[in-house]
Amino acid sequence: MASKISTNFDFSPGILGVQERPPSPLPRIVLRGVLILVFLMLLWAMFGRLDVVSVAEGKLVPVSYIKIVQPSEAGIVRDITIKEGQAVTKDQVLIRMDANISEADSKAVQAALQYKSIELRRIEAELSNQPFTRQAKDSNELFNRIYAEYQSNRTALQDDLNAESASLQKAHSDLAATVEVQHKMEQTLPSYKAQETAYNELVKDGYAGALMGQEKQRDRIDAEQNLRAQEYNAKSLQASISQSQKRLNQVQSDYRQKLEAERVATFAEFQRLEQEWAKQSHKNSLLELKAPQAGIVKDLATHTPGTVVSPGTVIMTLVPNNEALQAEVWMKNEDAGFVHAGQEVKVKLSAYPFQKYGMVDGKVLQVSADATDKSASNNNQNNAEQNQSPSNAQLSYRTIIQLSKQSLDTEQDKLHLTPGMQVVAEIKLADETVMEYLLSPISKAFREAGRER
């Protein structure tokens, strides 16, 4: 019936056919479908929420980071015991530097240290008045030289003591002789006085001449003066004895004083040489560049023995073995206010497409305290000042991300993570509705409108 009516309209006049034909339901159905779809999209935009993430690029690094090997002083490479990519163990010798100069310095310091050690023993032997004996570790040449000095000092001391002792003994002998003469004069003086008195009586009685009396008086005066002279001489000799005793003590005191001063100076020099020997021993140990930990040799700077290297030159790097990895990424400056330790992170690995192998979960472990200008670090020194300008600066925050696992598990195999793999970290900052996301550019433009030049 419908087809029949339609056929009738087909043969009707054009205007009448349009007026009489019933409207098609398809446009109405399409319009209703579009309206329903728009309504559903509005509902999703109003109530659906999206994660706001900060995208930061970086790479995987060991927890203890890459180790560098460098000499502490300038030198010449004597022996290279490893090669690029070789696995090494902790404290394994990697490179030996030329030790000829260092060994010569060590021998000089060691000889000086041994000399001062024997000198100290010689001084102690002289101070304690003990024999100076040789020890097994002593060098024959050094010991003989210092022993000759020991004998010379002891001989000189003994000669000085003998000279002063002889002077003291002579003074004692002279004093004894003087005392004897003094005693003799003390005993004979009364007889001189008695003779003088007797002759004075004879002269007075006229039995002797006056000259005889005066002669006896002169004899008595000579005896008294000689006695007084002997008394003064005895005091002088006693003073000489005291002075000789003091000089004898002074010789010993000066000798000990000289030795004490020599011991202080020698001990100070001995201690200085001990420190110098410790420093030299440490320098000698640094001539063998050893692995700070087990790892793989990377970026070996030289393969030629005889190469001259400067202090601080990085000769090679070591990638630690069997150590947990973490992601080191550089966060944009505009996201710094919203990222903090403990936030969840999704880490994508460039080596393993996340659409096929998935992502690695993690969390923010640390955010650097200050931003770093990566543009300056990626350019040479000549362009450093230009890169420091605000227009060229790429200020980023170094962020460390702790990974929840060290491999990606698949049905066929386990994909291990290795240092240096490039990663993209998505740090979840917040969530917002789809409407807020769509309207944010408009809102930003509206707030900034009429303000910028």
Q: What is the pLDDT of residue 438?
A: 67
Residue 286: exposure state from Cβ atoms within 10 A (0-12, 13-18, ≥19): middle
CA–chain centroid gap for 237, Å, is 70
In contact, 371 and 56? CB cutoff 8 Å:
no
Q: What is the pLDDT of residue 1?
A: 42
Whole-angstrom CA distances from 419 to 41, 59, 309, 387, 400 are 45, 8, 28, 29, 14
Whole-angstrom CA distances from 170 to 160, 173, 229 are 16, 5, 19
For residue 397, which amino acid is it?
Answer: Y
In contact, 277 and 262? CB cutoff 8 Å:
no
The encoded tokens of residue 31 equal 């319009």
Q: What is the pLDDT of residue 430?
A: 66
Q: Provide the strand spans (E) within 260-301.
A: 288-290, 295-298
In contact, 127 and 322? CB cutoff 8 Å:
no
* Cα(263)–Cα(276) distance, integer angstroms: 19
Residue 412: exposure state from Cβ atoms within 10 A (0-12, 13-18, ≥19): exposed
Query: What pLDDT digit, counting tens, does each position of 138-192 carry?
Result: 888 888 999 899 998 888 888 887 877 777 787 777 777 777 777 777 777 777 6
The encoded tokens of residue 285 equal 């140990």
From the list 440, 437, 428, the residue with the least C-alpha distance to 53 is 428
Which residues of the chain are under the pLDDT cut of 70?
A: 1-23, 45, 48-51, 192, 196, 198-203, 205-210, 212-213, 375-393, 430-440, 443-453
Q: What is the pLDDT of residue 297?
A: 93
Q: What is the pLDDT of residue 83?
A: 92
Q: What is the pLDDT of residue 167?
A: 79
Residues sharing a CB contact under 8 Å with residue 347, sequence separation 6 or more, in sequence order: 327, 359, 360, 361, 362, 401, 403, 423, 424, 425, 426
Q: Give me the count of residues in the chain.
A: 453
For tokens 């073995």, the residue is 321
Buried b (16+ CB within 10 A) or exposed e, 365-398: bebeeebebebbeeeeeeeeeebeeeeeebbbbb
Whole-angstrom CA distances from 421 to 62, 67, 348, 371, 425 are 11, 17, 10, 23, 12
Q: What is the pLDDT of residue 327?
A: 94
Q: What is the pLDDT of residue 95?
A: 93
Residue 166 has φ and ψ, to the nearest 5°, of -65, -40
Q: Provide the strand spans (E) within 27-106.
A: 49-62, 67-69, 75-80, 87-88, 93-97
Q: What is the pLDDT of residue 380?
A: 45
Q: What is the pLDDT of residue 393?
A: 57
